[in-house]
Structure 1
Amino acid sequence: MRDLQEIVSQPGLPIPISQASNLTLPVGDSGPRLYGWLTECHGFWYNATLIVASLLFVLYLGLQARQSLPKLSHGRSYIMIAYYACLWVVSLLNLGWCLFQAWECTPGKEMVWNFLSLFTTSGMLFLEVSLLAFLFQGNSVNGLDALTRTFGISGLVVGLDVVLKAIYLFGFGIPLFIDSNDQTHKMKWGLWVVHKLVLTAIYGSILFMYNSKWRERLPARPAFYKYTAIMFSVNALSLFACGLTGNGAGFGFWLYGATVVCYHAFYLPLIYVTFLADFFLEENLNLENSYYSEMKDAGFFDADWE
């Protein structure tokens, strides 16, 4: 016993750990991993809302694919076909982004999280800018030339945005996509303020056009006006939250997190309802009208006049 006490009392000597104590570590390991995957970084409800909303939308797109694909091929609209394909790609990226939220707080995963976030947000921005370009072109949008012009403008804008964010991320080492309430990065929140300010100004200008003499230059669809009003409100709220967070306000960080949840959970369904759902409904109506015209020309309704 005395020899054992002398060994323990000597400084710098490692204390051996029995093999039996290590056998208890794997027990119940899957439970804490799953719990940490759902609760790390932003908490359970934050992650659960993102995962459930994005997963439900991808399942909805999958269930509607059998009806949507024939209508797209029958309509032969290059813009709708390309936009539908982009929506699928971005929806899958967004689902992956929502599923792997734990990477944001996992040491060694910062690089892959930044790449995933960069591609996901750039894809969503591409859809957003494409719809804005469509709105600004008004009723003259039609055909392959309009598709080239719309996606060309969107690609240029998003490309510049990606280069700027990549310089911030990998050049200056600023954690654009790793949110922390403990550390405030002035350059990071300054970039987000400029980003949200530009989007808010663009949506505000479209709202102004809807209520001015230039209203006829925009597509005459109430859904586009509602979409613009919603996006103006979300971006204005996000701009306010980024400004508060940049000045160290805790409420601003919470508000910014709420706008992130709203954007990643509900923006893709919103853009589907605004831009694609009416197209599929109109295809049904046009098909019924064409059948009616053919039957009328064939004389099926002549007996109604006798």
Structure 2
Amino acid sequence: MQCNPAKQSSWNMLSLFTNSGMLFLEISLVALILQGNNATGSGALTRTFVISGIIVAGDMLLKAIYVFGFGVPLFINDHGKGNRVKWGLWLVHKLLLSAVYGFILFMHHSKWRERLPARPAFYKYICAMFLLSVVSSFACVLVENGAGLSFWLFDFVAVCYHSLYLPLLYVTFLADFFQEEDMRPENVYYAEMKDAGFFDADWD
């Protein structure tokens, strides 16, 4: 919904903290799982939160400067007007996320696969986030070029992201764990190793 012009500052602040919180969750999840077997104890959580905090703090500061310093309406949709600075920033943001997720997928299908965690659910999550980032980047390009339905596509992706991200985490990482027949740890570990290909005859 378009916010009231008299409440733009409040809307910008709320949107800034919401987007930063979601980005922090994204980065923390990826950073924690990429540590693999080393992700144990408080040390792993500390490293994860430090990395995520530095990246998100820089991103948040940059957005705050553009929103409150230069008056760029990053979080306010002015349909019908293509602000090139605004959509250029969003395009760079989405492309960076696409590059990170795409690089992880590339490594998963390359000779460096052994350096990544053997968790099939993690790669399903990466595929979903990569697809979401690519579609969002495409929507930004369409908006910059004034294409029809471009605002609708960007808004649709944004709604899907904010409303379905937490359900995606549950379905991907937690749903199987809470099923009654999979509550025994040995069954969970066996299922993950089987999905990762540990019991394939040609696995090396």
Specify the TM-score bucket, using the shorter chain as the normaliser.
0.7 to 0.9
Q: Is 1:241 equivalent to 2:171 in the alignment? A: no
Secondary structure at 1:134 match in 2: helix
Q: Which residue in 1 is equivalent to 2:112?
A: 214
Secondary structure at 2:5 match in 1: coil
Following the alignment from structure 1 to structure 2, what is the Cα–Cα distance between the partners of residues 207 and 150? 20
Taking the TM superposition and a 5 Å limit, the aligned residue runs for 1:270-285 are 270-277=168-175, 284-285=183-184
Q: Which residue in 1 is equivalent to 2:43?
A: 145
Rg (Cα) greater in structure: 1
The code of the aligned residue for 1:122 comes to S
1:84-131, CA deviations, whole angstroms, 9 ceiling, x for partnerless residues?
Answer: xxxxxxxxxxxxxxxxxxxx3313111111111111111111010111
Taking the TM superposition and a 5 Å limit, the aligned residue runs for 1:59-208 are 104-208=2-106
Following the alignment from structure 1 to structure 2, what is the Cα–Cα distance between the partners of residues 201 and 217? 18
The answer to whether the Cα contact below 8 Å between 1:244 and 1:252 also exists between their aligned partners in 2 is yes
Cα deviation for residue 280 of structure 1 reads 5.3
The code of the aligned residue for 1:284 comes to M
Secondary structure at 1:250 match in 2: coil
What is the root-mean-square deviation of aligned Cα atoms in Å?
2.2
Following the alignment from structure 2 to structure 1, what is the Cα–Cα distance between the partners of residues 58 and 170? 25
The code of the aligned residue for 2:148 comes to G
The answer to whether the Cα contact below 8 Å between 2:32 and 2:45 also exists between their aligned partners in 1 is no
Which structure features the higher share of helix residues? Answer: 1
Following the alignment from structure 1 to structure 2, what is the Cα–Cα distance between the partners of residues 258 and 234? 11
The answer to whether the Cα contact below 8 Å between 2:12 and 2:75 also exists between their aligned partners in 1 is yes
Following the alignment from structure 1 to structure 2, what is the Cα–Cα distance between the partners of residues 121 and 105? 17
Q: In the alignment, which of 218, 224, 227 is matched to residue 122 of structure 2? A: 224
The answer to whether the Cα contact below 8 Å between 1:139 and 1:218 also exists between their aligned partners in 2 is no
The code of the aligned residue for 2:184 comes to L
Secondary structure at 1:178 match in 2: coil
Q: Which residue in 2 is equivalent to 1:265?
A: 163
Following the alignment from structure 1 to structure 2, what is the Cα–Cα distance between the partners of residues 156 and 262? 27
Following the alignment from structure 2 to structure 1, what is the Cα–Cα distance between the partners of residues 28 and 159? 22
Deviating more after overlay: 192-201 vs 250-259: 250-259
Unpaired segments ≥5 residues, structure 2: 188-204
TM-score, length basis structure 2: 0.84
Aligned residues: 187
The answer to whether the Cα contact below 8 Å between 1:184 and 1:245 also exists between their aligned partners in 2 is yes
Secondary structure at 1:108 match in 2: helix
TM-score, length basis structure 1: 0.57
The code of the aligned residue for 1:121 comes to N
Secondary structure at 1:174 match in 2: coil
The code of the aligned residue for 1:179 comes to N
Cα deviation for residue 259 of structure 1 reads 0.6
The answer to whether the Cα contact below 8 Å between 1:197 and 1:236 also exists between their aligned partners in 2 is yes
Deviating more after overlay: 107-116 vs 249-258: 249-258
Following the alignment from structure 1 to structure 2, what is the Cα–Cα distance between the partners of residues 281 and 133? 27
Q: Which residue in 1 is equivalent to 2:192?
A: none
The code of the aligned residue for 1:112 comes to S
Q: Which residue in 1 is equivalent to 2:201?
A: none
The code of the aligned residue for 1:171 comes to G
